[in-house]
Every structure is written in C-alpha cells, then in structure tokens.
Amino acid sequence: MKNDHLSFIYIYKKAIDEVDQQKEELWKIFEKPKTTQTRKIKTIRELHKLTITSTLLLKDLPFVTNLTKYYNKDF
C-alpha cells in the first residue's frame, strides 16, 4: 500500500464498491426463478444488512476525507 492519503481514500472507496457488488450478486440470486421462498427471505435479510453498511460507509465519508488531511505524508 502506498503511504499517502489518496491510498486511504482508495481503500475506503473499494469497500463501498465491494458492498455494492455483493448487493448486485444477491439480487441475481433473488431474481432467479428457481430460488426458494426461504432462500429469498435470507437474501433479503442480507441485502438489508448491506444497505445499512452502505449507509454507514457513506455517512462516514466526510469524516474520512477530512481525516486524510492529517495523514502523515512523510512516511
């Protein structure tokens, strides 16, 4: 990992992107015709958890971008 503040922002953005990708995969499972009702309920639960995670990540984004101003660039 690079030792600059932009790498920290990149890692945070990657986390957001990974959550979005997981949500897309879960929607694919949910939309399959052969998916059972039980499986759909479990999928919706996981989607809900990921939505909460996304919201928390986005809520903290201003804090993260401000925090990177204080990142020690000399290391």
Residues 6+ apart with CB under 8 A from 58: 16
**2-52, pLDDT tens digit by residue?**
456 677 788 889 999 999 999 999 999 999 999 999 999 999 999 999 999
Asked if the structure places residue 73 within a domain, the reply is: no
Torsional sign, CA 38, 40, 55, 2:
positive
Distance, C-alpha 20 to centroid of its chain: 6
Residue 75 lies in a domain: no
Is 61 a domain residue?
A: yes
Domain span holding position 38? 5-68
Which amino acid makes up residue 3?
N
CA angle 21, 64, 25 (to 5 degrees): 5
Q: pTM of this prediction?
A: 0.77
Q: How many domains does the chain have?
A: 1
